[in-house]
Amino acid sequence: MDRIAQIVRKTNETDIKLMLEIDGEGQSDLETGVPFLSHMLDLFTKHGHFNLKVDAKGDIEIDDHHTTEDIGICLGQALVKALGDKKGIKRYGNAFVPMDEALAQVVVDLSNRPHLELRAEFPSQKVGSFDTELVHEFLWKLALEARMNLHVIVHYGHNTHHMIEAIFKALGRALDEATSIDPRVKGIPSTKGML
């Protein structure tokens, strides 16, 4: 079973084509127009062992908001589509990742109950030209569209780049665990019989 999905989203603000392969090799081909986001998505892909291709054009002459948000939307939609009926998946994932002085933890539940809990205080409002408040926008739209419960905790750190990098690496690792097939799981991993 190939767990691959393609999403196309075109609005007055962005034009995005995205392909996600869950059972990949950590390969990425990213043209986002937002260099810091591309860097973070590359880390997410590598640590999650996904394959991810993004071709995004957005109104970055205004700022990076719409492009970042809409890539989060597309990635969430691709995750849902690629997972299909979710039979046999582990459903839950948890990862701690250190990045120098920073430590991030990401916990996910592919529950069909979207929620984001982000506990992080970034010392800087920008990393390069990237507004750090967009980390919340990306994660919230990802959680909403992927229909997942997503908890992100930065336990400590003082370098904003390191803190965000640890988040994206941990996100990849937690989703890799949650999307993994567990041969012990028969059917849908829920007492409700559905997710």
Q: What is the pLDDT of residues 57-68, one digit of tens each?
A: 999 999 999 999
The residue-averaged pLDDT of 12-39 equals 98
User: pLDDT tens digits, residue range 139-187?
Assistant: 999 999 999 999 999 999 999 999 999 999 999 999 999 999 998 888 7
Cα–Cα distance for residue pair 31/70, rounded to 1 Å:
14
What is the CB neighbour count within 10 angstroms for residue 112? 15
Strand order in the sheet with 115-119: 92-99, 102-109, 149-156, 115-119
Give this prediction's pTM: 0.95
**Predicted confidence (pLDDT) at residue 189 exceeds the cutoff of 90:** no
Phi and psi at residue 24, to the nearest 5°:
-105, -155
